[in-house]
A and B are shown apart, each in its own frame.
Chain A
Amino acid sequence: MNRLQSVVILGATSAIATAVARELAEHGARLFLVARDGERLEPLLQDLRVRGDDASGTRILGTTADLADIDAHADVWAQAREALSDNIDAVLLAWGTLPDQEACNTSVATTLEAIHVNGTSAIAFLACIAPDFEQRGRGVIAAIGSVAGDRGRQSNYVYGTAKGMLATYLQGLRNRLFFSGVDVVTIKPGFVRTPMTEGFNRAGALWAEPDTVARGIVKAMRRGRDVAYLPWIWWGIMTVIRLIPEYLFKRLKL
């Protein structure tokens, strides 16, 4: 069981990350939150301080940074270490955007930008922090991938490519850090009712609430699970989808 007493959350104002932060704050954790938009970060910090009985704001801290900017990573990590007195139990990477596949289809720049925000920038951050964890010999690194990364489909394969790349990187990192006692957790949510999916038709039993997914994330991080499909039903769905032979799959409108 990993302790989750001091946790860094990157991309903290996303609906899923916010729900994770609330759950941890309610259990008395020390948190360091990073988000791009200060106007959204401040009210979230305030909310977490009330939930975490931290009126003076000494345990729940944060900073603004654009995590797509790789040059900012070292500084963000230094701030996090300082805020949590160099005693970090866990890190959760949760930033990302859902690109418009149609727009990607006609623009190389949009495609590469989406892959950078969802894939390369996350890998850069992981590469930056991995030596620290390796040296310390404990802790958990978790990152939010997606079921979309399990197989490329015409409707969102640019996003899927980035998340798939991230998943493969995490696999390798998990293998590398295993020997120093660090857990690496790949989170693969299915459909979640968040602002990211606002334009979708969200009727149906497969849509999950952010707090349900957040509870699953916290549990997976505590247990040091390797890969967590959330909710678990997506493990079955994606197993079937992965097993469809390519010569059939390419004919499907998915």
Chain B
Amino acid sequence: MTTSWNRIPRVAHAAEVTLNRRGQPLPGASHPLLAYGLGRSYGDVCLNPGGSLLHTRDLDRFIAFDPDTGRITAEAGLTLDDLLRFAVPRGWFVPVVPGTRFVTLGGAVANDVHGKNHHHAGSFGEHVRAMTLRRSAGECLEVTPDDTPDWFAATVGGLGLTGLIETVTLQLVPVRTPWMRAWSQRFDSLDEFWELDARAEREWPYTVAWIDCLNPGPRGEVGRGIYSGARHATTAPARSQYREPRRAIPLDPPVSLVNRVTLRLFNQLYYRQSVHPTARAVHHLPWLFPLDAIRHWNRIYGYKGFYQYQCVLPPHAQKDGMQALLDAVAASGQGSFLAVLKRFGDRAGPGMLSFPRPGATLALDFPERGNETEHLFRRLDHIVQEAGGALYPAKDARMSPDLFRSGFPRWEEFASFVDPEFSSGFWRRVTK
């Protein structure tokens, strides 16, 4: 059964078709279509219950690369992993990468993904120079930000609903080495986080913070954590061999390994890890993609799966809102394994449904515990909606139509660009 990364929901598809080449006619059928790449989104944004999935993993060919300008064109099923392997030795880097490199170009566009460098580089869509979009009626649209701005704004962040993204042209950024300079520092409260962030974001193009949402800091409030910043290094360290460790969770444990005891222990240990207040050299792989080193890490939550809850709060509400969210999580006793807090830069994403926007974003993982989990999510939803924030469709399996509409006010404008033959579980759920 094809699922997304968190394994919720488990749904059946009427058909699954592998696309092998560009220009292949889309299957005509009585049920709706949706492209599926590596399934690294969470929830039903990449699922199409009762409909057809178009597997794009074999659409992974390079088409053109200009080594002088760093502009690359490739089929949309190419992974960021493949792209980085190609680009880094040639002195180029993907301008925006999410927390895993096992996503396709098409998926990165469709979700307008962001990275730890959002305050510096914006979202993925800002670096896309062109796309080809195959529509179910048979035509193939050439979509660019200048010539077809409306189609561009609909397709970037368009959740794969405007048609099949077949090729993507991306502007890479130059780097000197595969290495980064990185530092980290503990903080005891959210107040300290905001102070640190205000100073660090000017100097460090990549920043992110991990929060311990179980254990209070010395002043009794939840919000202690570790802040990290990094930039691409201009020189490699003297002993610059790096081999990524290859570990894997070999099988599904019968029950979730994430529970109150393991969480508290993990969070204590994580908080106590050594920090590096002065910058040191680290390879880009472990710094940008720490979880990629453990294959199938989603298995730790067992067969029943887990939820991710990622929201963004606007600047005027971010401080109080984040504290309220963390307090609600702490009060519920359902701590999250990893809580990640990141302040977005001042610009909104280029898509009508782009998630990145000015403000701060918090991401939390929770094992599936039925009503207890849903009860907590309702409280969090309430805080997000009151603050004028939004949930991230790529990480959502349950938001209400009402919360979607308030978080993405351009959704009706977007709906007019949706291909009549395309749909997803997510789209049917939030527009009903």
- Tell me whether A43 and B22 are in contact in the complex, defined as CB-CB below 8 angstroms, given that A51-B86, A195-B58 are known contacts: yes
CB of B18 within 8 Å of the partner chain: yes
Q: Interface 1/0s, chain A 18-48, versus B by CB < 8 A? A: 0000000000000000000001100110110
A195-B18, A198-B18 as given contacts; A43 in contact with B67, CB under 8 Å = no
Q: Is B64 an interface residue (CB 8 A)?
A: yes
Pair B20/A195 contact, Cβ less than 8 Å: yes
B65 at the interface (CB under 8 A from A): yes
**A50 interfacial contact with B, CB 8 Å:** yes
B178-221 interface code vs A (CB 8 A; 1 in, 0 out): 00000000000000000000000000000000000000000000
Q: Which residues between 66 and 119 of chain B lie within 8 Å of chain A, taking CB atoms?
A: 67, 75, 86
Of B23, B61, B65, B86, which contacts A44 at CB under 8 A?
A: B61
Q: How far is the CB of A64 from chain B (nearest CB, A)?
A: 15
Q: Collect the chain A residues with CB atoms within 8 Å of residue B75's CB.
A: 43
Q: Are B18 and A46 in contact (CB under 8 A)?
A: no
Chain A residue numbers with a CB within 8 Å of B86 are 50-51
Contact A50 B65 (CB under 8 A): yes
Complex interface: chain A residues within 8 A of B369 (CB): none
Measured as residues with beta carbon below 8 angstroms from the partner, the interface class of chain A is: 10 to 19
Taking the nearest CB of chain A, how far is it from the CB of B391, in angstroms? 32
Contact: B20 with A46, CB < 8 Å?
no
The answer to whether B417 has its CB under 8 Å from any CB of chain A is no
CB–CB B61/A43 < 8 A: yes
Q: Which of B18, B20, B23, B62 contacts A47 (CB 8 A)?
A: B62
A71 at the interface (CB under 8 A from B): no
Q: Does B61 lie within 8 Å of A46, measured CB to CB? A: yes
Tell whether B63 is near chain A: CB-to-CB under 8 Å. yes
Provide the B26-66 mask, 1 if CB < 8 A to any CB of A, else 0.
Answer: 00000000000000000000000000000000100111110
Q: Decide yes or no whether A53 CB sits under 8 A from chain B.
A: yes
Any A CB within 8 A of the CB of B410: no
Interface residue count on the B side (C-beta < 8 Å): 14
CA distance A55 to B58 in the complex (A): 23
Which of A15, A46, A53 lies in contact with B63, CB distance below 8 A? A46
Near A by CB (< 8 A), chain B positions 6-22 give 18, 20-22
A205 to chain B, nearest CB (A): 9
Q: Digitize A192-203: 1 where CB-to-B-CB distance is under 8 Å, 0 elsewhere.
A: 000100100000
Task: List the A side residues contacting B61 at CB < 8 Å.
Answer: 43-44, 46-47
Quote the shortest CB–CB distance from A19 to chain B (angstroms). Answer: 11
Q: Within the assembled complex, what's the spacing in Å between the Cα atoms of A47 and B86? A: 12
What separation, in Å, do the CA atoms of A40 and B20 have in the docked complex? Answer: 9
Query: Is the CB–CB distance between A46 and B21 below 8 Å?
Result: no
Cβ-defined contact, A50 with B63, below 8 A: yes
Task: Look across to chain A and name the residue whose beta carbon is closest to the beta carbon of B66.
Answer: A55
**Complex contact B21–A39 (CB within 8 A):** yes
Bound-state CA distance A53–B75 (Å) is 18
Residues in chain A near residue B63, CB distance under 8 A: 43, 46-47, 50
Q: How far is A53 from B23 in the complex, measured between Cα atoms in Å?
A: 25
Query: What chain A residues lie within 8 Å of B62 (beta carbons)?
Result: 46-47, 50-51
- Most chain A beta-carbon contacts within 10 A, residue among B23, B61, B75: B61
Question: Closest CB of chain B to A173's CB: distance in Å?
Answer: 33
- Among residues of B, the one whose C-beta sits closest to the C-beta of A39 is B21
> Chain A residues with Cβ under 8 A from B23's Cβ?
39
Find chain B residues with CB under 8 A from A50 CB.
Answer: 62-65, 86
Q: How far is the CB of A163 from chain B (nearest CB, A)?
A: 24
Nearest B-chain residue to A44, judged by Cβ: B61
Which of chain A's residues has its CB closest to B16's CB?
A198
Q: Are B21 and A43 in contact (CB under 8 A)?
A: yes
Write out the residue numbers on chain A whose beta carbons fall within 8 Å of the beta carbon of B22.
43
| Most chain B CB atoms below 10 A, which of A43, A55, A195, A198 | A43
In the assembled complex, which residues on chain A have CB atoms less than 8 Å from the CB atom of B18? 195, 198
Q: Which residue of chain B has its CB nearest to the CB of A194?
A: B58
Nearest chain B residue, comparing its CB with the CB of A203: B1
CB distance from B416 to the nearest CB of A (A): 33
Docked complex Cα distance between A104 and B122 (Å): 58
Separation in Å of the A153 CB from the closest CB of chain B? 27
Complex: how many Å from CA A212 to CA B61? Answer: 18
Q: How far is the CA of A124 from the CA of B22 in the complex (A)?
A: 34
Nearest CB of chain A from residue B6's CB, rounded to whole Å: 19
What is the bound-complex CA distance between A137 and B22, given in angstroms?
42
User: Which residues on the A side are within 8 Å of B67 (C-beta)?
Assistant: 53
B67 → A minimal CB distance (Å)? 7
Minimum CB–CB distance for A215 against chain B, Å:
14
Distance in Å from the Cβ of A15 to the closest Cβ of chain B? Answer: 8
Chain B, Cβ-Cβ closest to A51: B62
Q: Which residues between 279 and 316 of chain B lie within 8 Å of chain A, taking CB atoms?
A: none
Within 8 A of B (CB), among A223-248: none
A49 CB to closest chain B CB (Å) equals: 8
* Cβ–Cβ < 8 Å partners of A15 in chain B: 58
Q: How far is the CA of A198 from the CA of B55 in the complex (A)?
A: 12
Contact A40 B21 (CB under 8 A): yes
B325 to A: closest C-beta gap in Å: 39
* Nearest neighbor of A49 in chain B, beta-carbon distance: B62
In whole angstroms, what is the CA distance A47 to B62 when docked?
Answer: 4
A194 to chain B, nearest CB (A): 9
A15-B58, A43-B75, A198-B18 given; 11 more Cβ-contact pairs under 8 Å: A40-B20, A40-B21, A43-B21, A43-B61, A47-B61, A47-B62, A47-B63, A51-B62, A51-B86, A195-B20, A195-B58
Q: Can you list 14 A-B contacts (CB < 8 A)? A: A43-B22, A43-B61, A43-B63, A44-B61, A46-B63, A46-B64, A47-B63, A50-B63, A50-B65, A50-B86, A51-B86, A55-B65, A195-B18, A195-B58
Interface on A for B, CB 8 Å cutoff? 15, 39-40, 43-44, 46-47, 50-51, 53, 55, 195, 198
Name B's A-contacting residues (CB within 8 A).
Answer: 18, 20-23, 58, 61-65, 67, 75, 86
Q: Which 9 A/B pairs are nearest by Cβ-Cβ distance?
A: A50-B62, A47-B61, A47-B62, A50-B65, A43-B61, A40-B21, A46-B63, A51-B62, A198-B18
